[in-house]
Amino acid sequence: MIKAILIDDEPLAISVVKEYLGNHEEVEVVAECNDGFQALKAIAEHKPDLLFLDVQMPKISGLELLELLDEVPMIIFTTAFEKHAIKAFEANAVDYLLKPFSQDRFDEAMNRLATRQGGQQMEVQRLMSTQQVNRIVLKDSGRIRILPLSEISVLEADDDYVKIKTKDGAFLKKATLSHYESSLPEKQFVRVHRSFLLNVQFITRIDPYEKTSHVAVLTSGERVPVSRSGYQRLKEVLGI
């Protein structure tokens, strides 16, 4: 038996999937969710094997939801319109169904599921980097936090994690700094150092430090080291 959760903010969209699943007795629907928060709870409770997931949803998107999961089940995306990311989705999910889809197309996705079961490697970060990011969503001691980019001053590499600093404190997220370097807006976040990604809006001044490097002083008073190549990148973005 395959345990599945259906996630879509439109009840009718869920009912189509349920109807099409009528031909697939091996799948059991354990929960239906209309937003990412409900889905997160349901996933923790049921530990499903498969998600039918809409990408555009209230509060947190389908992709942000995946980022919050420790273990990502198999995914079949169902969405109306994605200009850029179709290739990446196809490579990283069982399938990608464009609404409205037919029973035949749906059955094809289920066939793919049968052949890929167990062996799927979901690269959520690869998917995220195809999307335009304007905030970071993470779990902080059981709570979900949404951090708008305008509130993030520094991202710092910390082993397997990235430490994200805001005025409300620092948060850890399992990711790499290069992932954020490539997905965050490059005019706003500059890799000033091997271990630091800096939001230029928080810089108050840049002081020389020792012979060849610099240090950026932030509005909070925090000092962030700037390497020689980091200084070049910073100068380019700031236009100095």
Partner 1 sequence: MSVSINVSRWHLIQFATLGLLWCGFYSTMLETVFELPWQSALIESLIVNAEIALLAFVSYKGIVYYRPSKDRFWFYVGVVIALGVLAVFIFGSILGLLSGTEYMNTESFEKHALIHGGVAFLIHAAVAGFAILKNDLKESGSVQKRQEESERMAREAELLKLRHQLQPHFLFNSLNSINALISVKPEQARSMIHQLSAFLRGTLKADDVKTIDLHSELEYMQLYLDIEKVRFGHRLKTRIEGEESCEKATLPALLLQPLMENAIKFGLYGTTGEVEIVMKAQVHEGMLIIQVVNPIDEDADSQSGTGFGLTSIRRRLQLIYGRNDLLETERTKNTFKATIKIPQSS
Residue whose tokens read 């399992």: 174
If binding is defined by CB under 8 A, does position 99 make contact with partner 1?
Answer: yes
Phi-psi region for residue 59, left (φ > 0), alpha (ψ -120 to 50) or beta? Answer: left
Cα separation of 16 and 8, whole Å?
11
Sole binder of partner 1 in the list 2, 4, 7, 16 (CB under 8 A): 16
Cα separation of 29 and 65, whole Å?
19
Q: How far is the CB of 228 from partner 1 (least distance, A)?
A: 33
Q: How far is the CB of 5 from partner 1 (least distance, A)?
A: 17
Residues 150-169 close enough to bind partner 1 by CB under 8 A:
150-151
Strand order from edge to edge, sheet including 95-98: 27-33, 2-7, 50-53, 74-79, 95-98
Considering the complex, state which of residue 11 and residue 118 has its C-beta at the smaller distance from partner 1: 11
Sole binder of partner 1 in the list 1, 25, 70, 81 (CB under 8 A): 81
Q: How far is the CB of 146 from partner 1 (least distance, A)?
A: 5
Kindly write out the interface string for residues 44-63 of this chain, putting x where it contacts partner 1 by CB under 8 A and - elsewhere. Answer: ------------xxxx----
Which H or E run contains 13? helix 11-21
If binding is defined by CB under 8 A, does position 149 make contact with partner 1?
Answer: yes
DSSP class per residue in 169-183? EEEEEES-HHHHHHH
If binding is defined by CB under 8 A, does position 7 make contact with partner 1?
Answer: no
Ranges of H-type helices in 33-139: 36-46, 62-67, 86-92, 103-116, 124-128
Sole binder of partner 1 in the list 146, 176, 204, 232 (CB under 8 A): 146
If binding is defined by CB under 8 A, does position 108 make contact with partner 1?
Answer: no
Considering the complex, state which of residue 58 and residue 208 has its C-beta at the smaller distance from partner 1: 58
- Quick count: other Cβ atoms within 10 Å of Cβ 186? 13
Q: How far is the CB of 205 from partner 1 (least distance, A)?
A: 26
Ranges of H-type helices in 93-142: 103-116, 124-128
Residues within the interface to partner 1 (CB under 8 A): 9-13, 15-16, 19, 34-35, 37-38, 56-59, 80-81, 98-100, 134-135, 146, 148-151
